[in-house]
Structure 1
């Protein structure tokens, strides 16, 4: 049995019905869907996604990433995307997994490796799709198998997760991941700003302030920010606010006005207009539709 077949069986054993399955490994989630889905705006953070069975499409700005069975998608920074499942059926459901990557583990791994023989690419980008090799699939399989060994889970899971990071750094994902932890690189400076925005998106601040924090001129900052995220800084901030408001309405059952205030909007009518343009439906209709379809589970 190949590593890919083993992984399929392991995911099916846990994901016995449609949904998102959290595991005892906090960083690891499994997904099963029996139907293709509508495009759904969401935020991808630093992590590894694998399509185990079926197919998925992720759109970042004008860039489209299709990744099918046995392919990996890595996001190196927090980016707002639109994703949907493109291949799934009851007989052959979509199966996927997502593993969050610890930025400190990534930084330590980069510091301990020699990349002098690897080619560098000039293009900055937050995402990439690559075929999974046998070594990576084997490591993922061993990580999932640890879920059946609770006495060893706490000690061994971090070691295998570290191995997975090392393997990604030896793959074509390497340059993209290295840049966000390489001190002084434009990608690392933008990654720091994106992390700050994730914590402070509801506050008032200017693009001049963000550029100064990144030690860049305003024009250079805007250029590098768009290269990485495919959005302008203002578009990115608006996207974060709308995504968070949607989650507050879904998970905490807040009304639209309360959610708008909590994410930094001063005008409820402006929030409603921008929400409708972004998600395609007014807040109340959108939330009701999501609950009926279970699309957010």
Structure 2
């Protein structure tokens, strides 16, 4: 292993008394280590930059699948359901990932201070992308990990390094797209306001015209930009949100299948079970039991 970032992350993980994932002493910074390939896992992704120092992962958003490996990063600018998996990892060469949450308000502040605002390649901005991770970006990531050894400096230095990381991200080849989903007056940010409204009321029937009104867009423009950002239609997005929340309720609160279905907005338990099995690969009761067994074993 010759990459300094991979070496620094590996040293950090070797000192930890518990298994991955690790919430570090820097707010919003996490480290993942996988010694073997992992099964696909559903989650609700949040704005973040996920840097692979060693190994490889893939993530799907809707029908779009993105692979990213050592020297690359997944940049997520929108909250969206996703499916991800580590597919390249060995005990002697674990997959090592640094995750830094992205504060869109911070990115917006950086854009406003840039002499030349980054330009987006097209009107329809993707909310998720893969970028090469080298040069100043890699230097920032390495400094963040090394900063974990000097806890007294973290409150002062870490925010500056994360802000610098935001600058180099905005100054890079995908800076225009990143700026578009960060700027408050952009169509992408208005669609993200509608996404937040949908998330807050995910158990209620979805009304696309109402969401388009929140985004201040026509129905057709809203539908197009929503799918560009999330790789899902509003109805697909809501369905996946409901199923993810129902799974969480059954796992964390041991809620019965029918109770979980009704709690997230389903009127038919049989429809819920069909859609749940289609998404997670097993009926709700069996899936919850399998997940609990895996967690207890791990």
Both proteins in one fold, TM over 0.5: yes
CA–CA separation in structure 1 for the residues paired with 2:126 and 2:94: 30
Q: How does 1:128-207 map to 2 (within 5 A)?
A: 128-207=129-208
Unaligned ranges ≥5, structure 1: none
Per-residue Cα deviation, 1:206-247 (whole angstroms, up to 9, x for no partner): 111111111122222112211221211111011111112222
Partner secondary structure for residue 86 of structure 1:
strand
Whether the aligned pair in 2 keeps the contact of 1:290 and 1:296 (CA below 8 Å) is no
Offset, 1:183: 4.0
Give the structure-2-normalised TM-score: 0.90
Offset, 1:295: 10
The residue aligned with 2:63 is: 62
Whether the aligned pair in 1 keeps the contact of 2:121 and 2:176 (CA below 8 Å) is yes
Offset, 1:248: 2.6
The residue aligned with 1:268 is: 269
CA–CA separation in structure 2 for the residues paired with 1:259 and 1:26: 32
Per-residue Cα deviation, 1:12-60 (whole angstroms, up to 9, x for no partner): 1232375211112231111111221232222221110011111111122
CA–CA separation in structure 2 for the residues paired with 1:296 and 1:109: 45
The residue aligned with 1:104 is: 105
CA–CA separation in structure 1 for the residues paired with 2:154 and 2:63: 41
Unaligned ranges ≥5, structure 2: none
The residue aligned with 1:8 is: 6
Whether the aligned pair in 2 keeps the contact of 1:18 and 1:33 (CA below 8 Å) is no
* Alpha carbons of structure 1 residues 19 and 254: separation in structure 2 relative to 1, 3 Å: farther
| Number of residue pairs aligned between Structure 1 and Structure 2 | 294
The residue aligned with 1:90 is: 91
- Aligned Cα root-mean-square deviation (Å): 2.2
Give the structure-1-normalised TM-score: 0.91
